Amino acid sequence: MEHFDVMEKYGHEQIVFCSNKESGLRAIIAIHDTTLGPAIGGTRMWNYKDVNEALEDVLRLSRGMTYKASIAGLNFGGGNAVIIGDSETAKTELLFRTFGKFIQGLSGRYITAEDVGTTVKDMEYVLMETEHVTGISKALGGSGDPAPVSAYGVYVGIKACAKAKWGSDSLEGKKIVVQGAGQVSRYLCEHLDNEGAVIYISDLVESKINRMLDSVKAEVISPEQVYSMEADIFAPCALGAVINDKTIPKFRFDIIAGSANNQLADEDKHGKKLLEKGILYAPDYVINAGGLINVSNELNGYRQDRALKQADGIYDTLTKVIEISNEQKIPTNLASNKIAEERLKKIGGIRKIYSGK
């Protein structure tokens, strides 16, 4: 499809191609929708095979951010950026400062943060050229690691699912398979352990598991065992696309709720399949919004207690998503899209009143 047709189909407002010979920067910034406020979303650095692949990714990611910010009740729109290049070898101060200049040129219409392939340090170079950046270290007045707030949001989200499924949100004695023992998982498992859940943990990296076992009681399972375990809850906290044609037939879970982005390999098909199988799925962008809540708080003078309070709202949001899914007999991922779109429509209406249009 031609670029303008794609923008029109999915409602993107603006795409900025950034190129600079001296630094080697080749980046794309996509602003999807600024109805609710300036577009916010991370910068991904990846060795894309060509510009089309990078463009496709940034268009998809930026649109996802509009939905995530909307349903989280934030006054931000959706945007994202991609830098084409190898994050292991191609990073320089000049590259990120040049990228910062391009962001500054958007005068606050887009606010960036770290994402796959970029780090707090990279964002600190961006900060040297623009104030429109979040995810900065605490030492420089930022919010630091978002994982504690992300994990807390996932924890309350799991509780909301439990309440809807079993009538009680207690996780005591519930068997929970957690995929990935990384940053979010580590804090999540502490909450689950404190509540007396029975945790089964898996990671590809042994040191991650060992670090987890220092503070949490859990049984270690192999990455291959994850999908076919018989358990109450599956919490994907590693990769995307883990809910797919191959894994769904193996599932013997009542609930799937975890932090990973893009869990459904195919949004339309696999959300429906989970509904048919009677598995309650917490839409990823609803339950993992704690990370976005955390960085967005940075813009108003960061306070973790305020970010955690906001992340608490994920419980009620998910409850509403599940109610709509039950009432309208639609997959939860479609129910959450509806809520996000409705808020955009309503607030868009108010904005028109204020601007006299």
**Site residues for ligand NAD per CB under 6 A:** 146-147, 150, 179-185, 202-205, 208, 223, 237-239, 259-261, 288, 291
Residue 131 Cβ, how far from ligand NAD at the closest point, in Å?
A: 22
Instruction: Please identify, using beta-carbon distances, which residue of 94 and 265 lies nearer to ligand NAD.
Output: 265
Residue 220 Cβ, how far from ligand NAD at the closest point, in Å?
A: 11
Residue 182 Cβ, how far from ligand NAD at the closest point, in Å?
A: 2
Contact (Cβ atoms closer than 8 angstroms) between residue 295 and residue 325: no
Instruction: Please identify, using beta-carbon distances, which residue of 102 and 200 lies nearer to ligand NAD.
Output: 200
Coil, strand or helix: which one is 258?
coil
Instruction: Please identify, using beta-carbon distances, which residue of 87 and 261 lies nearer to ligand NAD.
Output: 261
Residue 221 Cβ, how far from ligand NAD at the closest point, in Å?
A: 10
Backbone angles phi, psi at 293, to 5 degrees: -60, -40
Residue 266 CA to residue 268 CA, distance in Å, equals 6
Instruction: Please identify, using beta-carbon distances, which residue of 19 and 210 lies nearer to ligand NAD.
Output: 210
Instruction: Please identify, using beta-carbon distances, which residue of 141 and 223 lies nearer to ligand NAD.
Output: 223
Minimal CB distance to ligand NAD: which residue? 182
The two three-digit tokens of residue 213, written as one number: 């076992």
Q: How does strand 39-40 pair with strand 77-84?
A: parallel
Residue 241 Cβ, how far from ligand NAD at the closest point, in Å?
A: 10
Instruction: Please identify, using beta-carbon distances, which residue of 45 and 106 lies nearer to ligand NAD.
Output: 45
Residue 101 Cβ, how far from ligand NAD at the closest point, in Å?
A: 27
Residue 49 CA to residue 123 CA, distance in Å, equals 24
330-334: long-range contacts, CB 8 A cutoff, minimum separation 24: 330/275, 331/271, 331/272, 331/274, 331/275, 331/281, 332/271, 332/275, 332/280, 332/281, 332/282, 332/283, 333/264, 333/267, 333/271, 333/281, 333/283, 334/271
Residue 224 zone, left/alpha/beta (φ > 0; ψ -120 to 50; rest): alpha
Residue 231 CA to residue 217 CA, distance in Å, equals 17
Amino acid at 21: K
Residue 348 Cβ, how far from ligand NAD at the closest point, in Å?
A: 26
Instruction: Please identify, using beta-carbon distances, which residue of 212 and 275 lies nearer to ligand NAD.
Output: 212
